[in-house]
Structure 1
Amino acid sequence: MAATIAYLRVSTDDQTTATQRATIEEKHKIDTWFTDEATSGAIKAEQREGLSKLLQYVRKGDTVVVYAIDRLGRNTIDVLETVEALAAKEVAVISIREGFDLSTPMGKMMLTMLAGMAELERSNIKARQMAGIERAKAEGRALGREKTIDDAQVAQWRSENSASIKATAEHFDISTASVKRACRTAKG
């Protein structure tokens, strides 16, 4: 038999789930409750204990009710991934504040819009990241981890000892990729 499940989340210790619970109880008879309290929205959905348990618990035909869709994730992408995980299990999602049921045609349209917003957010994140990299390069800042390997020393040791890439990596306690890169760089 299908169950109606509620999920509640608040971000800080001084917040309470009481308002979310009362609003949900006004509109739905809930069989099971899952809660994450003092759990930042910055923590990905699947890493939250309550939501993780909910995702393991739900079955085909169940309905998950949330006070607001943002309770399901830290950003549009996270919300979409959570909703898609529930949809893959054929679980309906109802958000009271936004007033939609993702199992209805209107809800599916909302999900499509949510997917579009998530794609826009991904592209904006990538653009900001690339702009930051370009700015750092323009300022002459070194990117990536600080180099700790002396390429010439690695290449010389390998050559003098007729050592394999693996043996050289073990000798210097570095990866085989680092040995290959050091040998290429040392050659010029």
Structure 2
Amino acid sequence: MSAIIAYVRVSTVDQSTDTQRATIEERHKVDRWFVDEATSGAIKAKDRKGLGELLSYVREGDTVIVYAIDRLGRNTIDVLETVEALNAKRVAVLSLREGFDMSTPMGKAMLTMLSAMAELERSNIKERQMAGIKRAKTEGKALGREKIIIDEDVAQWRQENSASIKATAEHFNISPASVKRACRAAKASI
């Protein structure tokens, strides 16, 4: 017996799958849900827990419904490979926002075009992010997390206790890289 399967994904912890779920439930009675939360679409489909489980679960005759193509991923080749893997199992893939069945020739053509657009948008986002970082640096703005340690304290504690980088990191609850930076900075200020 064939099943209606839904896949929803959000990229960050402050996002919710509620809208995707509600939209899918308005149109379809879903038998099984697969979810990836706080999971970037840039991560390959097979490496995402929810989508990986979906790919293992589906059977011939099932229909997979997604809210939008970009929920499957942001990389054109990865999205196409995912849809091809589903089609090879004789599983239909429907995208509600775009409104087409990706298992038809027209659907495949639209999928290719829309996946390429999603990938372009991802690269545009990255480009805008890098431009913003560059601008912030030229304006002298501090980037990254606020520093929670005093370099000299870290270096002094490490020296006084003959501690390893790892032990120092654990003592101050910071990363080993932060310990190395702190020790270098403390040495440079002497």
TM-score by length of 1: 0.61
- Percent identity between matched residues is 54
Letter in 2 for 1:46: D
User: Aligned runs of 1:1-188 on 2, under 5 Å?
Assistant: 1=1, 3=2, 5=4, 11=19, 20=27, 33-34=30-31, 46-47=36-37, 55=54, 59-64=58-63, 72-73=67-68, 77-80=70-73, 85=82, 87-89=84-86, 90=89, 91-95=91-95, 98=98, 100-188=100-188
Which runs of 5 or more residues in structure 1 are unaligned? 22-31, 37-44
Per-residue Cα deviation, 1:55-95 (whole angstroms, up to 9, x for no partner)? 489523234275xxxx524xx53244788656534321135
Q: Aligned with 1:133: secondary structure?
A: helix
Gaps of 5+ in 2: 8-16, 38-49
* Deviation of the 1:143 alpha carbon: 0.5
Q: CA-atom RMSD, angstroms?
A: 4.0
Which letter maps to 2:104? T
Larger Rg over CA atoms: 1
The answer as to whether partners of 2:61 and 2:92 remain within 8 angstroms in 1 is: yes
SS of 1:187's equivalent in the other structure is helix
Equivalenced residues, count: 159
| TM-aligned CA deviation for residue 112 of structure 1 | 1.4
